[in-house]
Amino acid sequence: MAGVNKVILIGNLGANPEVKYLNNGTTVANFRMATTENWVNRSGEKTTLTEWHRVVAFGRLAEICGEYLNKGKQVYVEGRLRTRTWEDKDGNKRSTTEIVATRMQMLGAPGGTPAEVPDTGKDLDMDHEPPTGGDDDVPF
């Protein structure tokens, strides 16, 4: 049986996206977003839990994220989980788990209506494996 690796998040950006370019010219955007869960515990107290997520986008989707997203912006992100490991400059093994974004929708635009991603004439879904590599020892 085939597996399923799908993540859907609605949250707010913690900082502006960081945009970089791989050696082959592919655009990469990295950003962190927070999702918040609210509930009333058994004692009747309101409780809040905020979870932080690392998100990476490639290609045209990365360009759009870099151009239109900024700190505090509410976004819908769809993608898949990926865990990467690498060796840092000091030889230490490092790892991170991130969401590789395949779709993004900006939310919470002025006037209360969602803002649409500009039509590029191409589907922004990325169903292929993103390029890897680069000249940095530290991941983006």
Query: Which tens digit of pLDDT belongs to each residue from 21-61?
Result: 999 999 999 999 999 999 999 999 999 999 999 999 999 99
Confidence check: pLDDT of 136 > 50: no
* pLDDT value of position 109: 58
Q: Helix, strand, or coil here: 16?
A: coil
- CA distances 111 to 108, 114, 115, 134, Å, are 8, 9, 10, 41
**Percentage above 70 pLDDT, the chain:** 77
Instruction: Report the range of poorest mean pLDDT among 6-10, 50-54, 96-100, 104-108.
Output: 104-108
- At residue 134, the 3 state secondary structure works out as coil
**What's the fold here for domain 18-36+50-120?**
OB fold (Dihydrolipoamide Acetyltransferase, E2P) (2.40.50)
Q: Cα Rg for the chain, rounded, in angstroms?
A: 17
- When the pLDDT of each residue in the chain is averaged and rounded to a whole number, the result is 83
The encoded tokens of residue 36 equal 């918040």
